[in-house]
Amino acid sequence: EDKVVQSPLSLVVHEGDTVTLNCSYEVTNFRSLLWYKQEKKAPTFLFMLTSSGIEKKSGRLSSILDKKELFSILNITATQTGDSAVYLCAVRGGSEKLVFGKGTKLTVNP
Amino acid sequence: EADIYQTPRYLVIGTGKKITLECSQTMGHDKMYWYQQDPGMELHLIHYSYGVNSTEKGDLSSESTVSRIRTEHFPLTLESARPSHTSQYLCASSAGQGAPNYGYTFGSGTRLTVV
């Protein structure tokens, strides 16, 4: 059974801090790993990773995948209060269905 | 802007009522999905469709049913709602493996409360 485990489940930081969110997975016929940001409603797409060692960046957010060790990290530098959200990690295997982790709830205090 | 639309956004209904949650997308995606998410919990896949007249049950057992008569439309129906159905329901669609955007696009969700 495909599985995604995220850690920590909850994190509280101050503005300006740098955070690292972790995602480990077990999946049959791995195809891709995706990160989403979920505020009050729908998850919004951040990154899709398919190859090890290639960092994806978007502004202050970056992510990298390690297919050998079966994990990914999401980094957020110089955090802002607007970064407060639940960050979801999901993997897609051979079935093309996404399997989600429980998410990391990030709270950025001013 | 949203290319996948869910209605209603919020719904409070009485036990035993039949309800249909609507989901439509304008991206021409073949693949569509319904996820159920309880507060603070992960998303669980309850139904998916890889094209017209194709529907499958997901990993989480659900008493709901779905239909896919048109590519753009993937409604979810509960014949007799119960308080245990109270949850958020998220609809998503995805482009195929060869498409530039391989990720899912989610609708804004329907928050259902059954009293």
The answer to whether the beta carbons of residues A21 and A103 sit under 8 Å apart is no
Whether residue A42 and residue B104 make contact (CB cut-off 8 A), yes or no, is no
Q: Would you write out chain B's pLDDT as a tens digit for each of its 115 residues?
A: 558 999 999 999 999 999 999 999 998 899 999 999 988 788 899 999 999 999 999 988 889 999 999 999 999 999 999 999 999 999 999 876 665 556 788 999 999 999 9
Is any Cβ of chain B less than 8 angstroms from the Cβ of A42? yes
Is any Cβ of chain A less than 8 angstroms from the Cβ of B23? no
pLDDT in tens, A38-88: 987 788 889 999 988 889 999 999 999 999 999 999 999 999 999 999 999
Is any Cβ of chain B less than 8 angstroms from the Cβ of A85? no
Amino acid at A22: N
pLDDT at B99: 59
Whether residue A98 and residue B45 make contact (CB cut-off 8 A), yes or no, is yes
pLDDT at B62: 85
Whether residue B42 and residue A41 make contact (CB cut-off 8 A), yes or no, is no
The answer to whether the beta carbons of residues A96 and B97 sit under 8 Å apart is yes
